Amino acid sequence: MVSELKVGVLGAGAWGTALAVLAARQGAPVALCARDAQRAAMIETTRENPRLPGVVLPPSLRVSSAYPQVDILLLCVPMQHLRASLVNLPPQRGALVLCCKGLELASGRLPPEVLQSVLPGQKMAVLTGPNFAHEVAAGLPAASVLAATDTNLRAALMNALRRDSLRLYGSADVMGAALGGAAKNVIAIASGVVMGAGFGENARAALITRGIAEIARLAVALGGKAETISGLSGLGDLLLTCTGMSSRNYSLGLALGKGDTLAAVLQSRTSVTEGVATAPALLARAQQADVEMPITAAVTALLAGESGVRETMRTLMGRALKDE
């Protein structure tokens, strides 16, 4: 680490483990907290997490089920568990960095909104971007956005979390960065459906482009900036998630496009596919803000079984003509 600030990671899934490995690679002490004590002990003993196969944990990375006493805590828990995780945090928790992507299904809130509702006034930032966990853990080149409204906090966190293989860009647009990371999962499901159903590359390119447009509209309505959605936390993340087979959301959409049922796809998985819960929450949030998001609406209907794949495509293609 460039800084001497102590770093901890809450959530021992693939992404949390990858960030912990990255932080500890040059010998800095890093604490990784797994919710289940037995699983934490297994990872600590074997020095490998089954969620991230082939990656050996650095010697300075310690794994336990105890909340770490650190200066910076990266929150890498699934979005629907974020609120409960925040409630259970100890009083001495340091700065919090939100690394989860999505919207809370019950409230429609983005990660920073959930955090502020539970811990008002808490120092926090959002870390997001086009990053697959296995590539980050392998030390392959990547870039992310670190968004925080507090300029000094943003600079301190960027200095502490930067790595030779991870370039960080700062942003003051917390809402835009969080929305880009959440909404891209929904568009990625649609992208997978398009390819799984054999609709072709032309259709996917059009869908990604229009997906960016509808996310940007909502970002502005929520107080964010449209240009944020054109950067790493929006377009960058969307391109990766809409084209890479390592994306759980894209691969789920691909299976749906080929005719598999949602229940069957989810039953075959041990990891969370965030876009499934995010889609209806995102649509509800857009409707509250009076923002039109036709792709998000189509994905929500498809996941709910209210529309078939080809019917969904006909609905999107048959919308009223307008200028771009």
Q: How many residues make up the chain in this entry?
A: 324
Using CA atoms, how far apart are residues 158 and 156, in angstroms rounded to an integer?
Answer: 6
The phi and psi torsions of 226 (rounded to 5 degrees) equal: -60, -35
Q: Are strands 30-33 and 7-10 parallel, antiparallel or unpaired?
A: parallel
Distance between terminal CA atoms of the chain?
46
Residue position matching structure tokens 């296995």: 134
Quick one: which of 107, 125, 223 has its CA closest to 176?
Answer: 223
For the annotated catalytic residues, the residue numbers are: 184
Quick one: which of 160, 188, 302, 175 has its CA closest to 233?
Answer: 175
DSSP assignment string, 255-291: HHHTT--HHHHHHT-SS--HHHHHHHHHHHHHHHTT-
Residue position matching structure tokens 């289940």: 36
Half-sphere exposure of 272 (CA within 13 A, CB side): 19
What DSSP character marks residue 159? H
Angstrom distances, CA of residue 309 to CA of 187, 196, 208: 14, 10, 17
Burial 276-287 (b: 16+ CB within 10 A, else e): bbbbbbbbbbbe
Q: What angle do CA 94, 96, 97 make, to 5 degrees?
A: 140
Coil, strand, or helix at residue 72? strand
Q: Facing residues of 30 across strands?
A: 7, 61
